[in-house]
Amino acid sequence: FVLFSVLSSLVCAEVLSPSHNFNVTLPEPNAPYVAGQMLPISYTLPDDTNLPKLLQLSVLFTTQDPILNFTDITITSNADISQGFSFRRTHNTYVYYEHQLSYAIPNSTLPGNYIVLFVDSVSKTNTSVPILV
């Protein structure tokens, strides 16, 4: 069991938010994705009844590469932060909530470096996950 826990923690590359109000589990940083296919997005939230006061989350698809001539795309302007039973997960005694989205990368997306950007408008912080298309 200990070995499985260690291996599973190595496989899952979480990106921690600066506010510690959520973690990004997908996409994996620097992973390759293909235009015209789905981009999986997953994030976890702590078990905190005050979370709606602490977090308002948007998710964008963007780039910092001016050569790509790309306009930011809002995947969702109000990501689900509910703590319903169907999203509830446990790891040992730790309770958290996992939410998932899928984004269809447009066929017209040029190859290059992109960012899945998680914007927390309450804490005014951003969490960036670089990907390759």
pLDDT at 2 (0 to 100):
35
pLDDT at 127 over 60: yes
- DSSP reduced 3-state for 108: coil
Residues 6+ apart with CB under 8 A from 131: 27, 29, 30, 31, 32, 33, 39, 113, 114, 115, 116
- Sequence-ordered alpha helix ranges (H) in 12-107: 51-54
How far, in whole angstroms, is CA 2 from its chain's centroid?
27
pLDDT at 12 (0 to 100):
59
pLDDT at 8 over 60: no
Look up the pTM and report it: 0.87
Q: What is the pLDDT of residues 43-86, one digit of tens each?
A: 999 999 999 999 999 999 999 999 998 999 999 999 999 998 88
pLDDT over 90 for what percent of the chain? Answer: 81
Q: Comparing C-alpha atoms, which of 42, 21, 20 is closest to residue 31?
A: 42
